[in-house]
Structures are given as C-alpha cells and as structure tokens.
Amino acid sequence: MTFEYSHAFAQQLDDADPLRSFRNEFFFPAHEGKDVLYFTGNSLGLQPKGTRESVLSELEDWAKWGVEGHFHARRPWYSYHEILTETSAAIVGAKPSEVVVMNQLTVNLHLLLISFYRPEGKRKKILFEYKPFPSDHYAFESQARLHNFLPNEVLVEMQPRDSEWNLRTEDIVAKIHELGDELACVCFGGVNYFTGQYFDLSAITQASHQVGATCGFDLAHAAGNVPVKLHDWGVDFACWCSYKYLNSGPGGVAGAFVHERHHHNRELVRLAGWWGHNKETRFQMAPGFDPIPSAEAWQLSNAPILSMAAHKVALDLFKGAGIEALREKSEKLTSFLEFVIHEVSKLSDVQMEIITPTDPSARGCQLSIVVPGYDRSIVRKLAKNGIIVDWREPNVIRMAPVPLYNSYTDIISFGKIFQTIL
C-alpha cells in the first residue's frame, strides 16, 4: 500500500478498520479535555472499561461468601485460574495443559530457571540477547550465584555486529554452536524491549536443542504482540507479564509455559508449593509433593483473584478480536508509523534513525527511534501536547501503536505535532 501523510488518508484507513470498535472498550487518559495520543502500551496497556465491574464482582462475592467464595462465588476462586488457560494458550501458541496463569513475570522466570538451568560439568553457560531487560539480567546473575558461579564465568550476552543494533539469526545460531557443550540454557526475550526486534524463536530453539541446551523465552514484549507457537517450536519454557500488551493492570498476574514433554518428569527439579500438588489429594495436607502432570505443577500458591479478574476481561477482548486479525492490523499500523516518521524526518530536516528491524516479520508493534541532538526534554514536550511515548537512555524514543486501541488518526496526529516540535 502507498501511504499518504494526511489526516484524510488516515481517516480512510480507520473507516476501513474491522477492529476499530475495540478502541471504545478502553479508557484513555485525558489532556486538556481530550484523549491523549497513547503509544506506551509496551510499558502499560490501557484499562479496559469492563475491568471495574469484573473486580467489583469478586469484591461483592468476598463480602457475601467470605471463605466459601472459593466454591460458591460466581466464578469459584478455587479453580479461577483455569478459566484463563484456554485464551492464554491461544495467545502463545500452546496446549492448555502447557500454560498456567500465576505470580509475576520475574518470579515465574526464576521458578522456570530452577528447573531448566541445570549446569553440570563444563555445561554451565547461559546465552541471552544484547541489552536484555534488566530484570532478566539480574535473574541470570542470581541463578549463576545460586549454583556457586561468578556471573562473568557463565553469562554470555550475544552482541550485534559492529555498527548494528539488531542481532542476526545466523549469528545467534552460530554462537549457540560455538558454545556447544558448554551451553546449559538459552534464554532470550521474545521481542527485545529496547530495539523491538522479534527474534526467530523457532531457529533459536532448534539450535539450542542441537547442542543439548534447554531453551526458553521471556515473552513480556511478545505475548499479545506477535504470533507465537511455543508448542510447535518445541520451546522448553517461557514466561510473560500481562500488564503491557495484555492490558491487565499494573503489576498484573503473569503467565508461564512448560512444554508437555516435561510434564511427567517427576525428577525435574522445581520449587514446590501446595497449589502445584495433585488436586485430588491437595486438601489432605500430607507431606510428599505430588506434582500435577501439567504446567500447573509450577504453581506455588492459590490464585490472586482480584488481579485475575482484571486479566479475564483483557483476555476476553483478545479472544473477541482474534490473534490473526490483530497481527494483520499491527503490521499495517506499524508500517504507517514508520512512514510518518520518515516524512517528519524529511520535513523537519532531522535525520532520525529507526533501530527496529524494517521487516514486519522481525518486529511487533513497536518502533524505537533515535533522535540525534535531542535529550529527554523532547518527551516532555510531546507530553505537553498530549502525546505519551517512552524514553530510554541515551537517546531512544519507544513507540507502540497497539492494534486493539490505537488508530491511524492517532499516528498522523502524532506526526503533525512532532514535526512542529522538531
């Protein structure tokens, strides 16, 4: 499609958008009496309008039933997490038995690394991508220390080629084979938070298994953003949060995936809790952990119901929109933003650089933009004009045009204002 840098063209695209009604399902912050132009769904998604009612219904059942709400609430709390499983599995391309909603992201990452980072002999290294999200790096460091290693002995941060921002798949695969029998675990972010690069998870998984390493992914910036097929790709483990693209509230409950081939391995080391114990005998309160033969075995405690009530509303919206339709709009919306940035760059004579891959299959709905000669004050100027974007040091603006609630008109309005500011 040939894009045009005009409000009229953007409005035409919005009029033809089959997902345009989903925008009305969300609350937008206001600026001077108008909805802001919100492009930070990669940090915190907007609140669905149904969230309040869903959470209130659980508060009402708590007031009415007290502890009996575990079995008599409208959505009984004892099994609440189970109603979230099917849609969660569809979002990450898994079987329902391979997915469980629980805890928060980094808690789940640690629980999974306990099981899938099992260094032995010379096989003790962890490979991860250049510039991972800091919490992942801290997790890798502490897991290394847990096994009495110094982090610099076992952590390998995959570096891009000189003068490049993104990693090439062939270089990642080559590095995996170079490390070979020294490699215990590969753990990348599915989409890198800084550059927005969507890695070839299938190729990384295949290469990892070829050298005898386990392979997992932090899908914080991938779940609800890009198509994922964890089961088909043979990924060992994965985890994700729900407060970014999944719009389930600040600090919302997270998710975890464990491939079904690991479910019946009772010797697999894990940290155990009573909610991962056999449901049939759970309330016998007897010693001796009997893991559920599914991803549920990695649960520790009973469900955080209020957080899950918010999550259910967001998942229902995803189910209604459909992953394929969201991806189709995402690619088009992000390409339009890319076009607008190039137009603004030309018209303002500021040579901005987009460091996110240009190939739509290698990115989600995020563009990371270097604006030479400008500091963080440019983000404050945008905010004063009702535009919310994200800044990362030293000079990168991150923008996420989210297909569930962002419009083409949002993007052209951003472009015109940004052009004026520059």
Domain ranges of the chain: 7-47+323-421, 54-320
Query: Residue 370, class by beta-carbon neighbours within 10 Å (0-12 exposed, 13-18 middle, 19+ buried)?
Result: middle
Q: Which residues of 317-343 are buried (b: 16+ CB within 10 A; e: fewer)?
A: bbeebebeebbebbbbbbbbbbbbbeb
Task: Report the percent of the chain where pLDDT is more than 70.
Answer: 100
Write the CATH number of the domain with boundaries 7-47+323-421: 3.90.1150.10
Would you say 14 and 20 are in contact if contact means Cβ atoms under 8 Å apart? yes
Structure confidence at residue 373 (pLDDT): 87
Which residues on adjacent β-strands are paired with residue 125? Answer: 183
Would you say 190 and 212 are in contact if contact means Cβ atoms under 8 Å apart? no
Rounded Cα gap, residues 368 and 399, in angstroms: 6
Q: For every one of its 422 residues, what pLDDT tens digit does the chain have, with 9 covering 90 and above?
A: 899 999 999 999 999 999 999 999 999 999 999 999 999 999 999 999 999 999 999 999 999 999 999 999 999 999 999 999 999 999 999 999 999 999 999 999 999 999 999 999 999 999 999 999 999 999 999 999 999 999 999 999 999 999 999 999 999 999 999 999 999 999 999 999 999 999 999 999 999 999 999 999 999 999 999 999 999 999 999 999 999 999 999 999 999 999 999 999 999 999 999 999 999 999 999 999 999 999 999 999 999 999 999 999 999 999 999 999 999 999 999 999 999 999 999 999 999 999 999 999 999 999 999 998 888 999 999 999 999 999 998 889 999 999 999 999 999 999 999 999 99
Structure confidence at residue 394 (pLDDT): 87
How many other CB atoms are found less than 10 A from the CB of residue 354? 20
Identity of residue 113: L
Rounded Cα gap, residues 408 and 41, in angstroms: 16
Q: What pTM was computed for the model?
A: 0.97
Rounded Cα gap, residues 42 and 193, in angstroms: 8
Look up residue 166 and give its two tokens: 């993104």
Q: How many CA atoms lie within 13 A of 414 on its CB side?
A: 26
Structure confidence at residue 1 (pLDDT): 84
Helices of type H across 276-370: 305-321, 323-348
- Evaluate whether the domain defined by 54-320 bears CATH number 3.40.640.10: yes
Would you say 315 and 117 are in contact if contact means Cβ atoms under 8 Å apart? no
Would you say 104 and 241 are in contact if contact means Cβ atoms under 8 Å apart? yes
Structure confidence at residue 179 (pLDDT): 98
Q: Which residues contact 259 (CB under 8 A, 6 or more apart)?
A: 98, 230, 231, 234, 235, 236, 237
Residue whose C-alpha is closest to residue 38's, from 382, 317, 334, 393: 382
Rounded Cα gap, residues 54 and 306, in angstroms: 9
Structure confidence at residue 173 (pLDDT): 98
Rounded Cα gap, residues 124 and 295, in angstroms: 25
Structure confidence at residue 314 (pLDDT): 98
Look up residue 104 and give its two tokens: 């928060």
Rounded Cα gap, residues 406 and 413, in angstroms: 12
